[in-house]
Amino acid sequence: MASRRAAEAAAAWLGALLTAAAAVFFALVLWPGWRPRVEAFFAAFDPVERRLLIALSLASALLSQAFAPCAWQRILRVLSLPGLRGSDARRNWYVTQMGSYIPGKFWMYIGRAAFLGARGAGSARSSAAIALENIYLMVSVCLMALAAIPFTGGAHMPEGVRVALAVSIGATLLALFAPGIRRGLAAILMRRPGGDPGVLPELSLGNQAVIIGFDMLSWTFRGASLFFWFLAAGAGAGREVQMLSVCLLAMPVSWLAALLLVIVPGGIGLRESVQGVLLQEFAGASLAVSATIALSHRIVLIASEGAFAAGALVLEGLWRRHPSMMRQIRQAGRLAASLVRARLFMMGIGSPPPPVNLTFSITRRCQSRCRTCSIWKAPPLDELSLAEIGDIFREIGWTYFFNVSGGEPFLRDDLPGIVGLACRHLDPAVIHIPTNALLPERIEAMTAEMLDIIAREAPGAALTIKPSFDGVGDLHDEIRGVPGNFSRLLDTLERLKDLRERHPELHVGVGTVISRDNAGRLGEIIEFAGRLGVDTYINEIAEEREEFFNLGSGITPDPDTYRTIMLGFKDAALERMRGMKLLGRITTALRIVYYDLVVRIMEESRQVIPCYAGILNAHINADGALWPCAIRAYGSEMGRAGRGGSFSAAWRSGRAREIRRSIMRGECSCPLANQAYSNILMHAPSLLRALRTALFPGGASTRRTRKEGAG
Ligand code: SF4
């Protein structure tokens, strides 16, 4: 160990000395001879006139940097390193990349290994990740160079040079695919020279293609940056295509050449020398001129690398000081990107994004005996284990709204563990859990535990607990089939409200399912709900759902009754809205738009606005079955997320495509609230109406709905 450290230190000093010696040699020996030729070449150079090309060079360098860490992120994703977020890895990559300019170069690796180590990756996995990144980087530069060589024909590059380049690069590429050489290289990169590198993880062909593809994209932009820089300097006029192909070749070849003297910080001087040799033909056949242009291009590269590293450091600081705010900004950005992808998918472009609204029925067990739901009559399912759930969440990667459902979610002992896994892998903005409120002490204890987990794993995420409230006093107990349920509901609410005092991220709500059994007493229910001191009061129409085993039960109120009820809710919501802040008004306005929508869906029995179930929303049942929504449920299983299946495979399966087509054709309709809010976000007229209502609540009277109803 000590001798290795000494060798590394010696290499670092040697690299620094070589760089310093090269700089002195350049300044004292080369430059005096080069200067007249360089000055003659640049005599007519006008930077103002060339500003567009200079800007293009800088923009290409920045794009190259933007794509540069994507391969690294993919490798880490494949290695499934726990507790690691892609954006954190990206920031670390940019900062540690600057370590390549520090003598010894090892700082770059040390920085990455330390980062991975702090996130629980052992040294073997960390070094495997670093080894894989470098091996695929070599593969991609070889492929890039081989792809560019055929286009350099008119560049006056001697045929022998081209053939020699092609043969040596081809041989390097083949060698990289030879298992023995690869293992040896990995052993060196993993800093176990002469030893066994351990088992490098097998990457699927798809992952390899993505990793190599991102690397090649980054190198292409680097080559383009060099091309625009040479063009701006006045080189290659009239032979742009040939010069572009040589630039695309020069970048990877110069990187490979610099590997021979890896101890030179950043390969400064070495890479530019190779680029100068390859590009001199375009710069008045002068190595002095082409090498000078290449050296000055290094300033562009360092500036772009420095800009990303500085940006990463600033972001890191903001994350440390304002984690909640930064999470919210990230959530909003991801949500916007997913909505755009969903819209494009509806237009036939691309694939559906991962769901932004994920419902997971973690159990089918329930102690209630509700009249509106018969799930308690169904036999329990073979529930997914915590480990299986973790695998599924890791695969999904992100969601905005994580909705835990049941059965009764609080019956599962590992509910806090499930929420912990969701925080770690899905990073949701909102976690929502309904409950029948039959176990007040248990609900309180588990909620407290979940709040601690959220504060640790996903600070700033909101936790909403929503006990069911279907009537006042005996009516509640009758509908839910359990004597004493109402008093336990009140006990649960008091306990949750106490917790809320200490945890502002906890939101306590109640929800009423409006059925034929309580539709006539809604006035009393709404009035009581207003006195409960909860943050939100949500009501939903009782639906006949496959998920609830209540098809044909006749629990849904008729449209006329429902219309009258909705008008009452709208009036109450509009009244409440006047005293609210803008965010609260927007949420309430969305609900008002939903109320109107439901009345029309019920009356017209069609999707009034397009449904995005199976695109923006997904539902996973307790045994891993993947559905587009709880209404289509068992009859529309897209595949299995877990238990031998995988979420991605099910999400992209032929069956999933078939189901999405059926939904897009409007072969089903329903007022499912959870789904309706996603649909409203995607429907511009509905969204604008919600915004107008939020801004001018006075203009959104219930008269319009009454008139529509009369029509
Ligand atoms: S309309 Fe209703 S039943 Fe049909 S896919 Fe959408 S949410 Fe499911």
Candidate from 668, 680, 682, 683 with most ligand 1 atoms within 8 A of CB, to mutate: 668
HEC string of 135-198 equals HHHHHHHHHHHHHHHHHHCCCCCCHHHHHHHHHHHHHHHHHHHCHHHHHHHHHHHCCCCCCCCC
CB of residue 663 inside a 6 A radius of ligand 1: yes
| Count of C-beta atoms within a 10 Å radius of residue 437 | 29
- Percent of the chain's residues with pLDDT above 90: 45
Written as six digits, the tokens of 640 are: 């299995």
Q: Which residues have C-beta within 8 Å of that of residue 312, sequence separation ≥ 6?
A: 90, 91, 92, 94, 95
pLDDT at 616 (0 to 100): 97
pLDDT band at 360 (very low <50, low <70, confident <90, very high): very high
b/e per residue, 546-574, with b = 16+ CB within 10 A? bbbbbeebebbbebeebbebbbebbeebb
pLDDT at 704 (0 to 100): 46
Top mean pLDDT of 248-252, 505-509, 639-643 is at: 505-509
HEC string of 444-512 equals HHHHHHHHHHHHHHCCCCEEEEEEECCCCCHHHHHHHCCCCHHHHHHHHHHHHHHHHHHCCCEEEEEEE
Domains along the sequence of the chain with CATH: 2-321 (no CATH), 355-555+613-668 (3.20.20.70), 558-611+669-711 (no CATH)
Candidate from 604, 638, 663, 665 with most ligand 1 atoms within 8 A of CB, to mutate: 663
Is the model's pLDDT at 500 over the cut of 90? yes
- Percent of the chain's residues with pLDDT above 70: 92
Least confident of 236-240, 409-413, 493-497: 236-240
CB of residue 371 inside a 6 A radius of ligand 1: no
Tell the residue nearest (CA) to atom 2 of ligand 1: 670
Average pLDDT over residues 486-491: 97
Is the model's pLDDT at 104 over the cut of 80? no
Top mean pLDDT of 248-257, 274-283, 408-417, 583-592 is at: 408-417
pLDDT at 308 (0 to 100): 95
d(CA 319, CA 593): 36
d(CA 393, CA 423): 9
Mean pLDDT score of the chain = 86
Measured in Å, residue 497 CA sits from the centre of ligand 1 at: 34
Q: What's the pTM?
A: 0.75
pLDDT at 7 (0 to 100): 72
pLDDT at 105 (0 to 100): 57
Ligand 1 atom with the smallest distance to the CA of 614 is 5
Tell the residue nearest (CA) to atom 1 of ligand 1: 669
pLDDT at 522 (0 to 100): 84
Cα 34 to Cα 102, 188, 352, distances in angstroms: 29, 40, 57
pLDDT at 710 (0 to 100): 34
Per-residue pLDDT tens for 15-51?
A: 788 888 888 888 888 888 888 888 888 887 888 888 9
Written as six digits, the tokens of 19 are: 């760089």
Is the model's pLDDT at 681 over the cut of 90? yes
Per-residue pLDDT tens for 387-418?
A: 999 999 988 989 999 999 988 999 999 999 99
Written as six digits, the tokens of 540 are: 């939903």
Task: Sort 418 into a burial class: Cβ within 10 Å, 0-12 / 13-18 / 19+.
Answer: buried
pLDDT at 237 (0 to 100): 82
Average pLDDT over residues 162-178: 76
CB of residue 672 inside a 6 A radius of ligand 1: yes
pLDDT at 292 (0 to 100): 93
CB 125 within 8 A of CB 79: yes
pLDDT band at 640 (very low <50, low <70, confident <90, very high): very high
Cα 240 to Cα 137, 228, 243, 245, 293, distances in angstroms: 27, 10, 5, 9, 16
